[in-house]
Amino acid sequence: MTTVRIIGAPTDYGANRRGVDMGPSAIRYAGLADQLVSAGIDPVDAGDLAVPRAEERDPDADTPSEWNAKFLRETADVCGRLAEEVSDTLADGSVPLALGGDHSIAIGSLSGSARGAEIGAVWFDAHADLNTPTTTPSGNVHGMPLAAALGIGAFADTEWANAPGLSPENVALVGLRSVDGAEADLLRERDFSVYTMSDIDERGITTVTEEAMATAAADVDGVHVSLDLDWLDPNEAPGVGTPVRGGVTYREAHSAMEIVDETGSLRSMELVEVNPTLDQHNETAELATELAASAFGKRVL
């Protein structure tokens, strides 16, 4: 039986709206462990990383003057500790499942998953998350984790943020519909595989996800799956900080996660951007638990 180790990273340092730090609690309360058991998984909950409140910290401390990146010191600390947890989990033969928190935690997940290994990544998200501290329009690090892990731009040689075992040719972004100008330039210039919502409409979620997983899994040790709940349409997942209309449906999301499982290449995963203060009856957290179960093998029959 596969063991999945649940690691909470209750941070809202990277977001522009408070409340997402309660995401791990909301996801657990929604029945994550029971959903994983129903998928034939043995869940082990490692609890939450200790994360000081953003209100108690200076968002500009230790940030280079030419950078626009809020709470960079705190993000580095949390992601460094998460990377250790993810790496140790893999060394023990278990699969790490990180719970955000905002999407900046992916810096730690990717770094830990890529430690001593070559990995791919599939980014299920409305956003590309390829901004850097010198291109970001907001300074919010939850829009930068993929750039950070790949050492792009200002993140070059930033050891705590980089995942050397991850290369752009093994990264696939699925469901994009909100991309900044600098990110669009990177997506055109680099070897990313990019699937917008228009691609999903035209080709179907099954074909797109199969291609994305195949690209990410080519000649690597495994695939990290990053699932931002704003990938779904806000009508399906209202409890997110940066909703964008026109996302995937409930059924499309489950189909995609079922394909993730069927490939047999899932190495690590995270669920991010569940904000219970913006949710309705905890339905976004409940959806997160269901999608995790599908990614780990739960089926109707």
Count of C-beta atoms within a 10 Å radius of residue 61: 11
Among 230, 236, 252, 270, which one carries the catalytic annotation?
Answer: 230
Among 21, 48, 77, 125, which one carries the catalytic annotation?
Answer: 125
Element containing residue 209 per DSSP (H, E)? helix 205-217
289 vs 285: CA distance, rounded Å: 6
Catalytic, 21? Answer no
Among 129, 233, 236, 279, which one carries the catalytic annotation?
Answer: 129
Among 12, 102, 142, 286, which one carries the catalytic annotation?
Answer: 142
Catalytic, 103? Answer yes
Catalytic, 129? Answer yes
Catalytic, 254? Answer no
Query: With the C-alpha atoms ordered 142, 144, 148, 154, is the resulting torsion angle positive or negative?
Result: negative
Do 273 and 102 meet the contact criterion of CB atoms below 8 Å apart?
yes
Catalytic, 228? Answer yes
Among 85, 103, 183, 258, which one carries the catalytic annotation?
Answer: 103
Among 85, 102, 127, 270, which one carries the catalytic annotation?
Answer: 127
Number of helices (H) and strands (E) in the chain: give both, helices first. Answer: 10, 8
Count of C-beta atoms within a 10 Å radius of residue 33: 16
Residue 44, amino acid: V
152 vs 224: CA distance, rounded Å: 19
Among 183, 273, 279, 290, which one carries the catalytic annotation?
Answer: 273
Among 12, 228, 252, 261, which one carries the catalytic annotation?
Answer: 228
Nearest to 138 by CA among 71, 233, 61, 195: 71
166 vs 188: CA distance, rounded Å: 18
Catalytic, 252? Answer no
Q: What is the set of active-site residues?
A: 103, 125, 127, 129, 142, 228, 230, 273
